[in-house]
Structure 1
Amino acid sequence: MIAIIDYGAGNLRNVKHALDLLELKSFITDNPDDLSEAKGMILPGVGAFGHAMERLQEKGFDQKIINETATGKPLLGICLGMQLLFDKSYEHGEHDGLGLISGEIVRFETDLKVPHMGWNQLVVSEYYKDHSITQGIQNDNYVYFVHSYFAKADDEQDVLFSTDYGQRFTSAVMKENVMGMQFHPEKSSKVGMQLLKNFGEMVTREDISGN
């Protein structure tokens, strides 16, 4: 069972619908205690980083997410949810994140139109080309983005996918059981659905192992 975290800043219904289509059992919750019962977690998000972190803290989700991931429980951050995994963001000031991935969130520095909105291509990291999370995914597959800020990971080995938009940026990250996608897999057709399926299988494996 996958918990979709409702902290007032997420695109919850589309994510739930995508998981339902994949026959992955999930539930939406605004109660941090429910995360203990879940076998995996999804942290969606739209809006501003600082406000989202405030909502996580107000509801008590921030420390609970950190504690649950420390047990090995799989976590997927989507769009703003991926950015919240990092140490800090410089969106409208400086704000601390969850600190699960080392790095920071910065604004695009490009002559291209910002926000970066629409379909763009993935480049699979050499570190993950044979990993189960990239099963069925190829270089140059297209996914759907909407964002003005992006992640700069400190460790290249945490970069799952990268994408070009006037500059190369990190479009997905992975560090052990913690992963994030800057794009919206639930809006990214077959490629996005494949990635959600792969995440679901990661959760299933953790379930079988007893974690």
Structure 2
Amino acid sequence: MKTVLCYGDSNTYGSSPMKPDGSWFRYGPDIRWPRRLASLLGPDWHVIEEGLPGRTTCHDNPFDGPHKNGLRHLPVALESHAPIDLIIVMLGTNDLKAFLGLTPPDIAKGLRSLLLQIRRSEASPDKGAPDVLVVAPVPIEECGPTAESLAGGAAKSRALASLFASLAEEFGARFFDAGSVATVSAEDGVHLTAEAHIAIADTIASRF
């Protein structure tokens, strides 16, 4: 059996679009893209969900806590779930938050830090680095209850796919632009609809 680790944020966790009052829920396993991917790949694959709402590539969040730092938690995830054949990394959306003040190249540097950490790991079955699939997150819109916190993020998000593709090539990783098959919800401009989860899972599964 081969193991796939899906490492991401709320759009890997399965958070629904946020309503004006701030309420949301977690999609069921029939919708969340990692669980749908598992069902499509079948019994020869073990797919692990490692999504955390608010997770950044490598930045602490002074409001929600340092555990939102993806680089800080990555070694734990790699060691606790090893051996891992493939890690799918879909991060960068939370790096767009206005209080961080990051540029698209800054966000790409965050992804580079993650890829370097994976390269140095011994988490694969042969004690080397697992294979990697870099997924550029779906571009956001500035609307709904998240608009103020993500001011200026929509334009930045549209620059990430090309930067992430270049990094994937540099590190010998696979690449997928989730924005090529999915869009965010018009309700909050950040989180994926059920249809988007399904489209992402179906596209990733077709590449195995």
Choose between structure 1 and 2: higher strand proportion: 1
| TM-score (ref. length: structure 1) | 0.36
**Structure whose residues are more often helix by fraction:** 2
Q: Which has the higher contact order (CA 8 A, sep 6+)?
A: 2
